[in-house]
Structure 1
C-alpha cells in the first residue's frame, strides 16, 4: 500500500500545484486504511514543503554599498538620523539597488521606509533605536490593526508595494516600546496603563474601526493615528514580493513584530524576537503566500508565530487565504502559542508545514493552536506538524477552539471549518492541563485529526474533545496510555 501510494502521488507533487495535491491526498477512507494512509500523507506532504521552499524567490542585490554615515548619520544614540536613512535608501534604490549599511554603533531614527532592491544591513554591534516621538510616525500610511486595514501611524520598518527587499545582518532593532511608550495604550496596568487615560478599547479607537469594517468604509477614510491609540507594527512588508528578513534581532516592539501582509515569497531566517510587550506576536503572515520561517528564536509576549487572514468582513472581502507556509528549525520559548492559526482568519489558512522545532517554557501556553469563532469564520486545512520536541506547555499540546473570544459578542453566522490536521513524531515531556483540547461546532465538527508517533507525558487531562471526528491515533500515547 505504501509503495503504491508513493508511486501514485510523488509525480503529482512535482507537476501540480500544492492545493490540488493536498486535496487529493486528504480524501482517504475510514478505519484502518485511513490511519495507514495518514502516515503516507505526511511523507508526501513534507516533500511538498520542500517544493514550496524551492519555489520561494530569495532576493539578491547588486554589489553596491551605501553607508548611512556617508549620508550624515551619527552613532551617538541621540541624534535623529531619519534623513540619513531616507537619503541612503533613496540613493541605493535610484542606483539600481544594493546594501544600505548600518555600521556598529547606536543610531536613533524615526520610521524606516524600504524601497525595491534595497537590503538594509546591520553590522554586528549595530543598534537601530526608534524614537519615542509619536509625531515622527506621521504622515499616516496604509497598514492594518488586528486584521483590519486602516490609515494609521507608520510601522517602524515599512515597505509598501515594493519588490526585492531585505533586512539583514547581526545587529538589533530596538523599538523602545515600554510601560512609558506605546504599551500603555493596550489598556492593561501591567504595561503601564493608568486609569482614566486613553486606551485602544475607547469608542474612538477599536469600536470605531470595527464599525468601519462592518460597513465596508474605504480604507482611505479609516483615519486614525494622532488623537487615537492604536499601536504600529514593527516590521511590515505590505503587498511586497521577494522579501528576506535574516539574522537580526527585534526587541521592545509596540505591537506585532514581523507582519508580512498581502506579500508573496517571504523568507524569515535566523531572526531573534525577544519582546514581551502586549500583542508582541513574533511573526504574523497575513494574506501571505509562500512563506519560509526557519532557524529563528521566538521569546514573546504573545503568539510566537500566528498565521492570519483578516478579521471578519475585511477578511471576507479580501478573500486571500494565507497558504504554503513552512516553519522549521525554530525555537519557541515564552508565548501564548508556538505555531498558531487565527484568530483573525476570515479568509482561511491552508497548507502549513511545521517540522524540526523545539518548544519549551513554563510560560508557553500551547504548542499548536487553531482559534476562530462564528464572527471570524474562515477555514483551516492541511496542517502538517512533524518532529517537534516539546519540553513544557501550560495548557495543551494541540488546542483547536472554534469558540475563541476574549471580548463579548463573538457569535455570528459564519461557521468555521477545520480539517486535515496531522501531527507526527512529537515528544512532549510535560503536556500541561490537557494533552489534546478540541472544541468544534456541532454544525461543523473538526475533521481528520491524526496523531502518529506522538507521545505526551504529564498531561493532567489526556483528552478533551467536543464536536470532532474521532482522532486517529497510530503508535501514540498520552501519559503512557495507548490510544
Structure 2
C-alpha cells in the first residue's frame, strides 16, 4: 500500500512529489481550477448489499450490556463474506473499541447510539496510532481501522465517547495523573529515534485516544452521524487517500483538544456540509510533528472544505500546528462561522520546531458573524516559540470575499524574525466591527485589495 500511496501522491501533485522546492505561487484563479479535478477523484466507497445486524451477533441495545465482542463478530462476518453493512439498530449499545475491516460500512440507524465504555482497559491491547503528530503504540481509538480499503461509518445515529471532566478529559491537565509527563516522554523517544514498536504507552500512561481514527486507509466515508464527547480529537484520518466526511455533526464544545475533523498527512479529502461545535479547532489540517514528522515526511494535500458551519472552537478552518510533513492545496468555501466562543475563523499555526511548509491555501465566500480573537490569524510562534532549528515555510495564502461582523481585530499575522510569512492576499472583503488594531509583524507580501475595515478602505 505504501508504494501505491507514493505513486498516488505523484499524480495528485501534478506529476511531482511535493517538496518546498516545488511549492510555487499559483494565481488564485488558476488554483481554484484545480478543485473540479480533485473533487472528481474523491469518490465514496460502495458496499455489497449484505447486512449484518450487530443484534444478530449478540449485541443488546439496553445501554448497560457490553457489546464489544458482538461488534467484533459482526465486523468479522461482514468482511469474511466480502463486505457489506454492519447494522446498528435503534437502541443504545455500550462497547469498547470497534475495529473496522476491509469493505465494511458501520451503519447506525436513526435512534441508534454507540456509547463507548469509560474503562481504559476496553481499549487494549495497544495499537499503532498517532498522538499529536507522533507515532506510538497506545490505547486504541474508539473506532479504528489500520491499512484498510473501503471503510465507512454512516447513518443517522450518535457516536458518544462519554468523556467528561472525570473520565478522559481529566488526563489533559494537572493534578496528576495527567498526560504531561507522557507527552514529554513520547517527544523524547521520537527525537532519539526509538522505533515506533518500542514506544509503548497504554496501561499506566495517560495519552488520550481519539474517538474515530482511520490510519493508512484508502477510500473512506464518514457520513450523516453525530459524534460527541471524545477524549480528544473526534475524527482523525491519518495517512489516508480518498476521504469523504459529509453531513456529519460534531457536538463536543466542552472537551479539551476536542477538534472536529483533523486530516493528517492525507491526500484528497472532502469535508462537506458538516456542522462543528468543538472544544478546539473545527477543521485542522495536519502533517506530523517535529522529529517524527521528518521521519515519516508525508504531506497533507488537496483538502476541500465546502459549505460547513463552524460554531464554538479555537479556529474555524485551521492548518497546524503539526505541519512538519507539509500542507498544500487547501480550499475552503461557502462556510459560515460564528460564536462568542469561536476564537478565529481562519487560523494557521506553527513554530520553529516544526519545519515543513504551508502553501497554497485558498478561501472564498466565508461569512463570519463574530469571533473572539482575530478573524484571520497566521502565527509562526505557536506555543510562544520564536526561534528554533526548523523554521517553517509559510505563505501563498489567498482570501476572497470574506465578510466578518464583529471581532477584536481583522488580522493577527506573526512571522519569525528572519523567517517571515511570505504572501497573504485578501481581496473583496469586509470587516465590519473590529475593536482593535491589527497585529502584523515579520510579513512579506501582505496585500489588501478592495478591503474595508470599520467602513474604511485599507
- Counterpart Cα distance in 1 of 2:390 and 2:12: 35
- Secondary structure of the residue aligned to 1:361 is coil
User: 1:333–1:363: 8 Å Cα contact kept in structure 2?
Assistant: yes
- Counterpart Cα distance in 1 of 2:429 and 2:121: 51
Partner of 1:477: 452
Say whether residues 1:119 and 2:96 are aligned partners: no
Partner of 2:62: 76
Partner of 2:413: 438
Aligned Cα root-mean-square deviation (Å): 2.0
Alignment: residue pair count: 446
**TM-score of the two chains, using structure 2 as the length reference:** 0.94
Say whether residues 1:270 and 2:247 are aligned partners: yes
Deviations 1:208-253 (A, max 9, x none): 1111010111000001000001110010000000000000001111
Cα gap change, 1:269 to 1:222, in 2 (>3 Å): same
Identify the match of residue 379 of structure 1 among 340, 354, 357: 357
Partner of 1:101: 87
Cα gap change, 1:127 to 1:290, in 2 (>3 Å): same
Say whether residues 1:147 and 2:123 are aligned partners: no
Higher strand share: 2
Cα gap change, 1:60 to 1:396, in 2 (>3 Å): same
- Secondary structure of the residue aligned to 2:201 is coil
Identify the match of residue 313 of structure 2 among 335, 348, 365: 335
User: 1:257–1:282: 8 Å Cα contact kept in structure 2?
Assistant: yes
**TM-score of the two chains, using structure 1 as the length reference:** 0.89
User: 2:380–2:386: 8 Å Cα contact kept in structure 1?
Assistant: no
Partner of 2:223: 246
- Secondary structure of the residue aligned to 2:383 is coil
Partner of 1:218: 195
Larger Rg: 1
Alignment of 1:73-472 (within 5 A): 73-187=59-173, 195=175, 197-202=176-181, 205-275=182-252, 276-405=254-383, 411-430=387-406, 432-472=407-447
Deviations 1:277-322 (A, max 9, x none): 0110001111111100000000000000111111100011111011
Cα gap change, 1:292 to 1:65, in 2 (>3 Å): same
Cα gap change, 1:282 to 1:307, in 2 (>3 Å): same
- Secondary structure of the residue aligned to 2:433 is coil
Cα gap change, 1:342 to 1:15, in 2 (>3 Å): closer
Q: For structure 1, which runs of at least 5 residues remain unmatched after alignment?
A: 1-12, 29-40, 189-194
- Counterpart Cα distance in 2 of 1:471 and 1:454: 14
User: 2:25–2:396: 8 Å Cα contact kept in structure 1?
Assistant: no
- Counterpart Cα distance in 1 of 2:438 and 2:97: 47
How much does 1:26 deviate? 5.5
- Counterpart Cα distance in 1 of 2:363 and 2:149: 31
How much does 1:75 deviate? 1.0
